[in-house]
Structure 1
């Protein structure tokens, strides 16, 4: 089994999912049984309203990236296991901050989370954040109300959110280990520009760091050692790729256009082969 972690060089719009989808399609064409994982992810119900509606349809909080990975892999795995920790964010009412753009843009992640799903091997739990729900405009509260009526989530305070998310990463790693047993190639996608979504997702053969039109491929063990330099201070989901990249030398560099990379599978496997021969 070959495992690949895909992370972003930028906080957003790096192209992680574009790279992952091309890698998955190439691998399937070559006959690989591909597994996918978005261990920790989220989506904004304002900008990605389609997936708020899909979550109502599925009776399960589902993010856009996980949905795309699942379909590209033609997966028969349960989508909630492929994306065990998923959050729904929504922007609060701008009138509450006096229409001040700087204050509005600076609203923290914790104060935008409205619903959280945590799925382990044996059960799924949804939570909702009443304090954040009450900060929404009336139309958005109505949309979330429809989802809440389907999911029947448990209430959770903002103050407990970080603890719940921190504990959930252990569950995400347990699920990831389970999925890896059933596939030839495991494609794991991180979020934003953080070095890894969980501790377990660092145990991979290859790491691909993606920026618009360019990706650099690293040996997984070397990448993990570089990230581990920060473990005494931070967890890998707080360390950014900007911290790690200066410590590493890429094994391969891939340039690509808007349609995504070509022959990415070949380059990934070349790095795996080179690492195994050392």
Structure 2
């Protein structure tokens, strides 16, 4: 039986631990030691407790942009669905540009819920059925008018920081809430400014907040709990959960690491496959959040498998390695039989 329970955790966010050593010897020894412990001990967390490990595949990107996370995740999800498994895609945190994904913004207004292009793809493919549980946190990112800057380097610097340009934040659990950073909306080019201020009224009650408050909120335990509650919902209804990270972040929430059974880091032409134990060991020994990137992890750990990714016009046409698919299916079937 699978059981979920609420636990009383510390009031502070998840602790990070100092990396004691970075030599290959340390990682090799710790990997074996941790594997032995995980086989014998129950895995617990602040929000969820369960005794069975069904396949949870984390897909992370090596590059900040255009690594191919959504493409690979969609291809894998559709392949597993065709083989008869119940598959859920979970994209805990997403951020999308008002300018570059303007069509999705207009669709969000017509549907009454904020979402971006990646989530739209998953919904269209039947891999996300309930947007609130498939994508519990979404951010709309703005642009700025370069003519308002005397020094163009300042414009370039501010445009390169995603959170600095946050316009609207949606959280979905236990109910939808929207937070508007009005100061950033005021920095939009005039036509967009008017459209955003009028358009967001369809979302209902909007909370106006500062950027500083929003950044603190995004790193709070409240957001971590939202993510894990949504994850629980996907866990209950699925044989396999595919978790997509964001940008080049190794993992969207460190509290998910204890549930990941397989990590796939993707890039154009190549994907790197790891067992979840290596991810957990890395997360538990990293002190600074800026080190939690796919490139940092890749530089320290050798992949179990390196997969060749060929170009494809659509995710359906992408040929995945049969060994990977069979491995996930076998784990799912084994979990069903327990």
In the alignment, the residues of structure 1 paired with residue 86 and residue 330 of structure 2 have an alpha-carbon distance, to the nearest angstrom, of 19
Match of 1:106 among 147, 157, 163: 157
Please give the TM-score of this superposition, normalised by the length of structure 1: 0.90
Are residues 257 and 159 of structure 1, via their aligned partners in 2, closer, same or farther at CA, if it must alter by over 3 Å?
Answer: same
| 1:43 matches 2:96 | yes
In the alignment, the residues of structure 2 paired with residue 145 and residue 66 of structure 1 have an alpha-carbon distance, to the nearest angstrom, of 23
Instruction: Report the secondary structure of 1:216's partner residue.
Output: strand
Report how many residues are paired.
Answer: 269
| 1:23 matches 2:80 | no
Match of 2:140 among 88, 109, 113: 88
Write out per-residue CA displacement over residues 224-253 of structure 1, whole angstroms, 9 at most, x where no aligned residue: 2123221xx224x76111111122121222
Aligned twin of 1:224: 280
In the alignment, the residues of structure 1 paired with residue 321 and residue 111 of structure 2 have an alpha-carbon distance, to the nearest angstrom, of 33
Displacement of 1:140 in angstroms is 0.8
Match of 1:79 among 131, 155, 159: 131
Aligned twin of 2:55: 2
Match of 1:263 among 320, 329, 332: 320
Are residues 243 and 224 of structure 1, via their aligned partners in 2, closer, same or farther at CA, if it must alter by over 3 Å?
Answer: same
Contact 1:24/1:73 (8 A) holds in 2 = no
In the alignment, the residues of structure 2 paired with residue 111 and residue 142 of structure 1 have an alpha-carbon distance, to the nearest angstrom, of 20
Contact 2:80/2:325 (8 A) holds in 1 = no
Aligned twin of 1:214: 270
Matches within 5 A, 1:128-143: 128-143=180-195
Displacement of 1:222 in angstroms is 1.3
Aligned twin of 2:176: 124
Q: Give 5+ residue unaligned stretches, structure 1.
A: none
- Identify the range of structure 1 (8-17 vs 108-117) with the bigger mean alpha-carbon deviation: 108-117
Aligned twin of 1:199: 254
In the alignment, the residues of structure 2 paired with residue 72 and residue 265 of structure 1 have an alpha-carbon distance, to the nearest angstrom, of 21
Q: Give 5+ residue unaligned stretches, structure 2.
A: 1-53
Displacement of 1:181 in angstroms is 1.3
Displacement of 1:145 in angstroms is 2.0
In the alignment, the residues of structure 2 paired with residue 264 and residue 135 of structure 1 have an alpha-carbon distance, to the nearest angstrom, of 47
Instruction: Report the secondary structure of 1:143's partner residue.
Output: helix
Contact 1:27/1:34 (8 A) holds in 2 = yes
| 1:234 matches 2:288 | yes
Instruction: Report the secondary structure of 2:199's partner residue.
Output: helix
In the alignment, the residues of structure 2 paired with residue 155 and residue 116 of structure 1 have an alpha-carbon distance, to the nearest angstrom, of 10
Contact 2:133/2:233 (8 A) holds in 1 = no
Write out per-residue CA displacement over residues 167-199 of structure 1, whole angstroms, 9 at most, x where no aligned residue: 223311221122111101101100011110002
Please give the TM-score of this superposition, normalised by the length of structure 2: 0.75
Displacement of 1:91 in angstroms is 0.5
Are residues 264 and 17 of structure 1, via their aligned partners in 2, closer, same or farther at CA, if it must alter by over 3 Å?
Answer: farther
Aligned twin of 1:144: 196
Displacement of 1:264 in angstroms is 4.3
RMSD: 2.0
